[in-house]
Structure 1
Amino acid sequence: MRSVTTEPQRFKILLVPEHVEGADGASLEDSAVRAAVVEATGETGASGYPRYAGDGMVADIDPRTRTVEAVLVDGDELDYGLSARVMS
């Protein structure tokens, strides 16, 4: 029997300056310096959360809280002053 996962298979990640306040989707998208759609890889990252990848980003995301636990952008750590936010 095949197990069915309830974890999302795709997320949109926005890289925004840390000073951006609020969680309003429209204001976050307007402030984003980069966006990527990432899809589940089926792997678990070093953080213990599912790994998602796409558009030059690899991220470990807690699907329950929609929190980015770890992220690489084009193979590098996130630049100082930026934060990664998950959009559904």
Structure 2
Amino acid sequence: MDDFEVLIYPYNAQDMPPTARGPAVRSATVRPTGEEGATGHPRYAGDGVQVDIDPVTGTIEAITVDEAELPDGWSARIADA
């Protein structure tokens, strides 16, 4: 399993093009923990972020930042995914 860079973005309208969304407000390098998350996917952690990542699609299935869920409308993506 590889390390990933997770990018966290503030609220943006769903139909807003990615180029208009602006920069991420936070990033974190996460590493495999060897555990399975609540979603059944591998758990990664680092820099105050815990994520469950689907290894087939590279999609973030669950995330907490500093032990809290993201605010409604915020999103997280894997860099270069």
Instruction: Name structure 1 gaps, 5 residues minimum.
Output: 1-7
Letter in 2 for 1:56: G
Q: Which has the higher strand share?
A: 1
- Counterpart of 2:2? 9
Runs of 4+ in structure 1 off by over 4 angstroms are none
- Aligned ranges for residues 1-88 of structure 1 at < 5 Å? 8-19=1-12, 21-22=17-18, 31-88=23-80
Contact 1:61–1:69 under 8 Å retained in 2: yes
More helix by share: 1
Normalising by structure 1, report the TM-score. Answer: 0.76
- Listed one character per residue, the Cα deviations across residues 3-59 of structure 1 (whole Å, up to 9, x for unaligned) are xxxxx321000001342633x7xx87x510100000000000010000000000000
Q: Which structure has the bigger radius of gyration?
A: 1
Q: Tell me the percent identity.
A: 48
